A = this chain, B = another copy of it.
Amino acid sequence: MMKLPLLLNQACSQPLYEQLAERIEQLIQEGTLNAGDRLPSVRKLHQQLQVSISSILEAYRLLEDRGLIRARPQSGYYVKVNASYFLAEPTPSTPSLNVCSVDTSLAFQINNAVRHPDVIKLGAAVPSPELFPRKTLNRMMGQVIRTHPEMVHAYDMSPGCELLRQQVAKRLIEAGCSISPEEVVTTNGATEAVYLSLKAVTQPGDTVAIESPTYSGLLEILDALHLRALELPTHPREGLCLNHLETALKEKKIAACAVVSNFSNPLGTCMSDEKKQQLVDLMNVYDTPLIEDDIYGELYHHGNRPKALKAFDQGGNVLYCASVSKTLSPGLRVGWAIPGQSIKKVKALKMTMNLTCAIAPQLTVATFLANGGYDHHLRRLRSAYRVQMEQMQAVITHSFPPETCISRPQGGHVLWLELSPNFDAMALYEKALQNKISISPGIIFSPSRSYRNCLRLNCGLPWSSTVEEALKTLGNLTHQLLATSVEK
């Protein structure tokens, strides 16, 4: 590893080991060092700093005690945390447990504003197009037109392009799912998959149980389908509270439950396998459909692909939804649903709504999944999202008030920030827009307009001084707004 900038002051009264520990802590807090990084060996540091071996060992022991680094036998010392460690995690949510109607007119307005081409898009959960293999995709689209010059113009019908459905089924093996291509219905993105799935299992006026906070696009769908929402308490790392879900299933007429199973939007939650099994079992017991949006499932930052809820689904009660909009190309509008028992209904609704999807984009994605180096691309993409998120966490740790709570997603590309209860993220949203920066205020993630003191930030943009400056500006604005609210 490169040399760390560790200037110590021999003349200072503070012991050298304390200075060294503080300096390393600072490097973590600044985001220079991140979880998983290896620290210089004791011998190397001894040579570099001209500090005694015992002092260095003492400094490392201090950092271990503080929970910042860990020793691995035969290997050395490793950083255990990221910058965000110095901020607390958001508190588990405690929504009111009243069924409420959904009005997304404000969210719609905000979602339009945050995507304006002139702003730095920290509001919308959009990836940066530079991260996508556009050249390869374009080459493959050309190839598709040459190979299937007639098929791309045919009158196709739902369930859509077979080559794509085969590839989707194949990819899902990694998520623990055993799916046949016949079970897949292709859709215009995951959004349409969720829309069709929810429409297939509900009637207007029905109630759907959701995470709180939840993805604002899901709320828009509930609104469009005349559905009501029951917000359930949700833990920032563990997800939906199953006890509350069970109570709701027992007491109220819940038509369905809809969750983002892996690296949820906006909290970044990824349920454990054990909890996934429990959730699927619970929904089975109450014979209530479970809609799974797994759009971020392949964007894990560490380890292996987390399983889908669908992997635990024996009876076909899970309606699985995903797309390539966060991993390959949003503009191709290629997604899919695997609706289990509800496949007949979903296929019919898709036919009724728009027959099927454009064929060339489906074939292009099928070709890329088959031999475009998707796994290689995903490795690079995951690493980019992980690093961008760490960089953002580090700047937030420095620029935002120390009482800011921040989520610790293990995948995806969004961060959730919770500020002190008197903070108004709508005011920050407006101030930020004046500075040509977009954020998503917390209220759009809740039908009851909770989370007024929260906001979501997008880490999809490649790191740049513009993004860094934008974050610092957000930090300053937050300080100012909090100062004003205290004065009042």
Q: Which residues does chain B contribute within 8 Å of A353, judged by CB atoms? A: 191-192, 195, 221, 224, 353
In contact, B135 and A153 (Cβ under 8 angstroms): no
| Residue A418 interfacial (CB < 8 Å) | no
Within 8 A of B (CB), among A186-243: 187-189, 191-192, 195, 199, 203-204, 217, 220-221, 223-224, 226
Given contacts A142-B142, A195-B352, A357 and B330 within 8 Å (CB-CB):
no
Stretch from A143-151, A389-397, A471-479 contacting the other chain: A143-151
A135 to chain B, nearest CB (A): 7
| Residue A331 interfacial (CB < 8 Å) | yes
Q: Which residues does chain B contribute within 8 Å of A329, judged by CB atoms? A: 152-153
Q: Which residues does chain B contribute within 8 Å of A199, judged by CB atoms? A: 224
Stretch from A83-91, A126-134, A165-173, A271-279 contacting the other chain: A126-134
Q: Which residues does chain B contribute within 8 Å of A126, judged by CB atoms? A: 155
User: Which residue on chain B has the smallest CB distance to residue A130?
Assistant: B150
A69 to chain B, nearest CB (A): 39
Stretch from A255-263, A298-306, A358-366 contacting the other chain: A358-366
In contact, B188 and A358 (Cβ under 8 angstroms): yes
| Residue A157 interfacial (CB < 8 Å) | yes
Q: Which residues does chain B contribute within 8 Å of A157, judged by CB atoms? A: 112, 115
A436-468 near B? 1/0 per residue, CB < 8 Å: 000000000000000000000000000000000
Among the interface residues A145, A226, A356, which one has the most CB atoms of the partner chain B within 10 A? A145
Q: Which residues does chain B contribute within 8 Å of A361, judged by CB atoms? A: 358, 360-361
| Residue A319 interfacial (CB < 8 Å) | no
Q: Which residues does chain B contribute within 8 Å of A156, judged by CB atoms? A: 330-331
| Residue A355 interfacial (CB < 8 Å) | yes
In contact, B354 and A333 (Cβ under 8 angstroms): yes
How many angstroms from the CA of A195 to the CA of B111 in the assembled complex? 23
In contact, A352 and B153 (Cβ under 8 angstroms): no
Given contacts A188-B354, A352-B195, A360-B361, A152 and B331 within 8 Å (CB-CB):
yes
| Residue A137 interfacial (CB < 8 Å) | yes
How many angstroms from the CA of A135 to the CA of B146 in the assembled complex? 10
Within 8 A of B (CB), among A377-434: none
How many angstroms from the CA of A249 to the CA of B47 in the assembled complex? 92
User: Which residue on chain B has the smallest CB distance to residue A196?
Assistant: B353
Q: Which residues does chain B contribute within 8 Å of A203, judged by CB atoms? A: 226
In contact, B359 and A331 (Cβ under 8 angstroms): yes
In contact, A354 and B151 (Cβ under 8 angstroms): no
Say which residue of B132, B150, B332 sits within 8 Å of A360 (CB atoms): B332
Say which residue of B104, B151, B195 sits within 8 Å of A331 (CB atoms): B151
| Residue A369 interfacial (CB < 8 Å) | no
| Residue A374 interfacial (CB < 8 Å) | no
How many angstroms from the CA of A115 to the CA of B360 in the assembled complex? 21
Say which residue of B141, B191, B204, B359 sits within 8 Å of A354 (CB atoms): B191
Within 8 A of B (CB), among A283-302: none
In contact, B149 and A138 (Cβ under 8 angstroms): yes
Interface residues of A (CB under 8 A from B): 104, 108, 111-112, 115, 124, 126, 129, 132, 134-135, 137-138, 141-142, 145-146, 149-157, 187-189, 191-192, 195, 199, 203-204, 217, 220-221, 223-224, 226, 325, 329-334, 348-349, 351-361
Q: Which 9 A-B pairs have the closest CB atoms?
A: A188-B354, A192-B354, A153-B329, A155-B330, A153-B331, A220-B352, A333-B358, A204-B204, A331-B359
5 residue pairs bridging A and B, Cβ less than 8 Å apart? A191-B353, A191-B354, A220-B351, A331-B358, A358-B360
